[in-house]
Chain A
Amino acid sequence: MMRIVLTMKERTNPHIPIEAEKINPAFLMWGTDDLTVWEGNKERRLDEIFEVEVEGTATSVNEVEVVLRGDTSRVKRIGEYMDGGRITVEGNVGMHCGNFMAAGTIEVMGDAGGWFAREMQGGAIICHGDVGHYCAAGYRGEKKGMRGGKVEVFGNAGDFTAEHLFGGEVVVHGNCGDMPGVDMQGGYLTIHGDCSRPCGNMTKGKCTVLGCVSEMPPTFKKEGEVEGPDGLPLTHFTGDVANRGKGNLLVRHYQYLE
């Protein structure tokens, strides 16, 4: 096993974002000397920004564990294109954590910024705190968003969670903001708390809301009552009828904007 601990150093201007897609087991396992990150428009050596401690060696990416410490709330793109191994962020993490990840595990103990697990393909990503907008969403203009893997959020998620979802599973234990699952085309989205306007324009896939839906979209067809997890009674809708949709939306409580 190889364990790499990256501890954020003090910075003169802590607001400048850092882009650090090299913080990925696939790069780190081969040594940290040549790796760089971008602080604003300046390219910096990894060790200018982080204290780097490496223990052990690895022969495959799956034997690598990366731990991030300190104020990493402005560090973006951690674990981008990750294809194995493990990353643990002890505090908060910046935007685009786990974008395009295909395998491995990312665990964030604090909060995560926007576009958490954008266009994810596989693997598992967990956030114990809250996540920003566009969790498990897609990229501007791209039809298909997340395609595989599992995203689990224990806190609340922002707006447009799982937008354009195409495959994989997204679970939010807290509440979601506005329009979760909008334009979703496949996959599973489960929201344990409340949200507003879920699944507008959905064509396929399944979304379950165990809390209360406000401003329920008016263009879903009510199919009847079904039994949900723990025997909870849920109302089953199909739609979005505005778009020939064949998606399934199951909700515990709902109200329309009349």
Chain B
Amino acid sequence: MSELLVKNAYVIDPINHIDGEVMDIAVKDGYIVEDVGPKATVLDAEGCLTLPGGVDSHTHVCGTKVNFGRYMSPEDMRAGREVRRGVKHATSGYSVPTTYANSYRYALMGYTTLLEGAMAPLEARHTHEEFSATPLQDMMANTLFDGNWAVMKAVAEGDIERVAAIVGWTLSAVKGFGIKLTNPGGTEAWGYGKDISCIKDEVPHFGVTPAEIIEAMIQACEMLRLPHSVHLHCNNLGTPGNYACTIGTFNLVPDLNKTRQSLYATHVQFHSYGGSDWKTFCSKAEPVAYTVNNLPQIVIDMGQVMFGKTTTMTADGPMEFNLYRLHHNKWSNHDVELETGSGIIPVLYRKKNLVNSIMWSIGLELALLVKDPWRCLLTTDNPNGAPFVKYPEIIALLMSKKYRDAEFATVNRRTESRVILPALEREMDWNEIAVMTRAGQAKALGITGIGKGHLGIGAEADIAVYPLKVGEIDPAQEYQKIIDGFSKTRWTVKRGRPVARDGEILVHGENTTIWVDPKISPEHDMSHDPEFTEMFNHWYSVRMSNYPVQDEYLKRNLRIETEATI
């Protein structure tokens, strides 16, 4: 039994409608409780800003593609070297750091829960191995279905129940969390070097369109009663004029769920581009945000770009090849049989570069134009837009028009005619930032019920105390204090245990892997379906019996069983 009391905390807890109340938080055995005894360890927050532990609903930190990013980048490794000290392992890497470096840096910023954005089912075991080496955050893996042959065949047959059955079986087999579609249909087309331009194109050989895949998956997701909605990386990422495709995709989405969105659209910055080529490239954040504002069934995340070096990595293989042709630096590609693809290239976003400057503006515009902060979450699509260590700067940009103007003065001068950022006056408050970095993310992922993203009684005791005195700082003026404050917590508490203090890592830790196991009726159990098993044993390069991730790959884990309607 361990007890902890965080005293004099200035709490913002949006889910429980607490907006700046000084209170004590009692913790027992990893959970928040009413009261603790006199022997509890006391942390005196001294009136500092105290939030639920941060949640990142879209990041790339573990798995085949991330590790390949590391493997091919020794030059990035030497950029983030720290010595081994005490419980802390040696770390390497800036944009693609080691698992330990990711975990420590997130912990120092107060983040306690992460969703790995893209796990290929065939390589799931790898993601789970890396989860075990990410000690200080609870982990979930979105599972890729964008080019899944069995799914596309079931969609072509119009059999949504079969789609749900395949998704359900796969999630249970690979210990995944939710459905991820990355350029649906496009990754399959890339198998022969082709791509899909938008939702009405037909996927070669399969006779389905991305629109049909997306619609079927949204329905299947609800049939399986998954906590999270379909998580979509739209077609046509990163190309001028793609905003029309993005809006067309959003307009497909029905409102099927009362408690959360029906579609989570990720890194929308990369999908809000106007113009017909790179010369006429401009921001279309306004029409995209307008569409989001009118469709409560949609939640987006920013995918903010920040200037500097980073590494782009996505399951969107064809897009990465296009990027390679632009940058002509190193390029990796890794197509995964019957399922998906992936690509990696290093990039440098430069202020001098017009396109990069417009991209930077678009992300901020989206956040400022989407009225409801619960529906536009703060991300960089780490590390695609920027490494996550840039989050504090993004927070400051959202809270301070003055900071935005100061930064805008340093970007490419021609940006002004292509964006609307300078005209946006909105400055976010502390509560909105708390929503965009934890409460909103937990709600969108459907994990508030398991105690994430809030500090109510019974919640997991994941707490971040920042060295920020809300009443004494004017975020609009003192943006440097905001950046410093959100960069390093005074304490990060994970499952009731202080894991970081003033920039020091205190414990080795052990994470929890959160996964979903939909309970499906025996007649929809794919493990005995003749067509499905035959497809497996004929066309996969591994046997079906060797495909599921064994239980021993999950150390601590939380299995969420859902009652599917099939």
Contact = CB atoms under 8 A, between A and B. Distances in A.
A141 B72 contact: yes
A258 interface: no
Interface stretch (B73-81, B110-118, B129-137, B490-498): B73-81
B120 to A, nearest CB: 25
Contacts of A33: none
A11 interface: no
Interface string B322-366: 000000011000000000000000000000000000000000000
Contacts of A142: 74-75
Contacts, number: 14
A152 B329 CA distance: 30
A139 B329 contact: no
A166 to B, nearest CB: 14
A47 B347 CA distance: 45
* Dominant secondary structure at the A interface: loop
Interface string A127-161: 00000000000011111000000000000000000
A139 B75 CA distance: 7
A141 B79 CA distance: 12
Nearest to A143: B329
Contacts of B329: 143
A139 B77 CA distance: 12
A187 to B, nearest CB: 19
Interface in B25-82: 72-76, 78
Contacts of B74: 139-142
Contacts of A143: 329-330
Interface residues of B, number: 8
A139 B74 CA distance: 8
Interface in A183-241: none
Interface centre among A139, A141, A142, A143 (most CB of B within 10 A): A141
Contacts of B78: 139
In this complex, the interface size class of chain A, counting residues with CB under 8 Å from chain B, is under 10
Interface in B68-119: 72-76, 78
Contacts of B73: 141
Nearest to B328: A244
A143 B328 CA distance: 11
A140 B330 CA distance: 13
Nearest to A144: B75
Contacts of B330: 143
A141 B68 CA distance: 13
B287 to A, nearest CB: 39
A214 to B, nearest CB: 30
Contacts of A141: 72-76
Interface string A81-124: 00000000000000000000000000000000000000000000
A140 B75 CA distance: 7
A4 B76 CA distance: 36
A143 B75 CA distance: 9
A141 B76 CA distance: 9
A141 B329 CA distance: 11
B84 to A, nearest CB: 11
B25 to A, nearest CB: 43
Nearest to A142: B75
Nearest to B72: A141
A12 to B, nearest CB: 26
Nearest to A140: B74
Contacts of B75: 139-142
B309 to A, nearest CB: 12
A164 to B, nearest CB: 11
A229 B504 CA distance: 61
Contacts of B72: 141
Interface centre among B72, B75, B329 (most CB of A within 10 A): B75
Interface string A26-52: 000000000000000000000000000
Contacts of A139: 74-75, 78
B255 to A, nearest CB: 48
Nearest to B329: A143
B42 to A, nearest CB: 39
B79 to A, nearest CB: 10
A185 to B, nearest CB: 12
Nearest to B77: A141
A140 B76 CA distance: 10
A183 to B, nearest CB: 12
A109 B76 CA distance: 35
Contacts of B76: 141
14 contacts: A139-B74, A139-B75, A139-B78, A140-B74, A140-B75, A141-B72, A141-B73, A141-B74, A141-B75, A141-B76, A142-B74, A142-B75, A143-B329, A143-B330
Interface of A: 139-143
Given A139-B75, A141-B73, 12 more contacts: A139-B74, A139-B78, A140-B74, A140-B75, A141-B72, A141-B74, A141-B75, A141-B76, A142-B74, A142-B75, A143-B329, A143-B330
Q: 10 shortest A-B CB distances, which residue pairs?
A: A142-B75, A141-B74, A141-B75, A140-B74, A141-B73, A139-B75, A143-B329, A141-B72, A139-B74, A140-B75
